[in-house]
Every structure is written in C-alpha cells, then in structure tokens.
Amino acid sequence: MYFHALIPFKPVNPKTRLSSILTQEEREEFARIMLEDVILAVRRTGCSATLLCTSKYECRDALVAVRKEGLNEAINWALPQFHCPSLIIMSDLPMVTPGSLQRVISTKADMAIVPGLGGGTNVIFVKKPEKFHVEYYGFSFRRHLQIAEELELTVEIIDSMRMSTDVDEPADLVELMIHGHGNAREWLYEHGFTLSVEEGRVKVHRDGKEVV
C-alpha cells in the first residue's frame, strides 16, 4: 500500500516548555533530531513524507512546504491534495518505531488514531484524507473522534506508549532516555543528560544537577 505522511514542524524556537533545561539553540537542534527520528521510522514503513514547516527549512529525506498559517489551517490545506491514505504525525515522537507505525497503518477501520497523554492527538491515519479535517489543540482526541463520527468513519484507537508520549516537558525525557532507540536519545546522553535512581524513583540529571 502506498501512503503519505504529513509532519508539522516548527524550526525556530520550538519546544518552549523545555526552556528551563535547554537553550533556544539546543531546542532547535533537539527538535530537528527528534523530527529526523520520526522521518526515519515513517520511511522505514515504506512511506514518503511532507513536512509542513512554519518557516524555511531544508530536509534531505522529505518534501517541505512552508505554511505561515496555524497548525490546523496548514494540515487542512494539505489533506485534500493527497489522494492516498495519509498519516498525520507529530515531530516530537522520537520513540516511534516502524513496528508501532505498522500497527497504525494496517488498521481495518477507515481511520486510526493514537491519543497523546493529556487529551491530545499524536497520530492520525486516514484512508480518505480529502474528506477529513483536523482540529488540534486542547482536547483534540475527543474532537477527532467527534469529527470521525460526523463523517461516519469507523475508527481504531491504537494503544501505544511509544506514540502517546510526546516530548514536551522535562519529565518526558525520562521515557525517551529509557525507551528511545534513535538519535534523539543519543543526543541527550551526548549533551550531559543522565538517568539515576534516587529514593526509589528514576531522575534525570544534566551535568550532575537534577532536572526532573
């Protein structure tokens, strides 16, 4: 089956909720490396990718469209242009694997959805993208189920820790450092982040100082 992936990406000043532990330059590099891990997993499932970027960005392994409008407007502009099953996947899911994506794209339903922790939506797979539209932000998981119902689409909800855990806040680094396998995990170790166990809990330190 041929399909296409849409990956929204913010190259400049991304991941501001990591500002307490990473400089802007580091956040831009880390976000790029997480994106590359996502692109790699997508490509290994046999899927091509288009990045929807908020500003100019160069990428060897994906098409790039620069869109100045908001996230929803950009995706809803792109969806009707794909006449094949489409994946919408966030760029901050560096724990994603080809195997976990395979579970998504092999759904028998009209679409599959992976919720994010906290009520968001991390991955959508929709077989007829030209009929669908997205509404991210807030309780978007519920909203996307409602949209599917309005459009009379069957939905499979995929149960995956790897894809439900987006890297937004310092606490999310614990999961990435434990379960990651790609360059984003390596980047953290190379930049002085370590795991330790204190008082029965796993903590993250950077250069000896506790960050989580």
Contacts with a copy of itself by CB under 8 A lie at 100, 115, 117-119, 137-139, 141-142, 159-162, 164-165, 174-175, 178-179, 195, 197, 200-202
Q: Rounded to whole angstroms, how far apart are CA atoms 60 and 77? A: 23
Integer angstrom CA distances of residue 70 from 2, 5, 53: 28, 18, 10
Residue 116: DSSP 8-state: P
Q: Smallest gap, in angstroms, from Cβ of residue 15 to a copy of itself?
A: 16
What distance lies between CA 129 and its chain's CA centroid? Answer: 18
Identity of the residue, 100 or 107, whose beta carbon is nearer to a copy of itself in the bound complex: 100
Identity of the residue, 153 or 195, whose beta carbon is nearer to a copy of itself in the bound complex: 195
Q: Smallest gap, in angstroms, from Cβ of residue 93 to a copy of itself?
A: 12
Q: Rounded to whole angstroms, how far apart are CA atoms 7 and 5? A: 6
Q: Rounded to whole angstroms, how far apart are CA atoms 66 and 53? A: 5
Identity of the residue, 94 or 115, whose beta carbon is nearer to a copy of itself in the bound complex: 115
Q: Smallest gap, in angstroms, from Cβ of residue 29 to a copy of itself?
A: 26
Q: Smallest gap, in angstroms, from Cβ of residue 212 to a copy of itself?
A: 9
Identity of the residue, 133 or 179, whose beta carbon is nearer to a copy of itself in the bound complex: 179
Q: Which two tokens stand for residue 67?
A: 């869109």
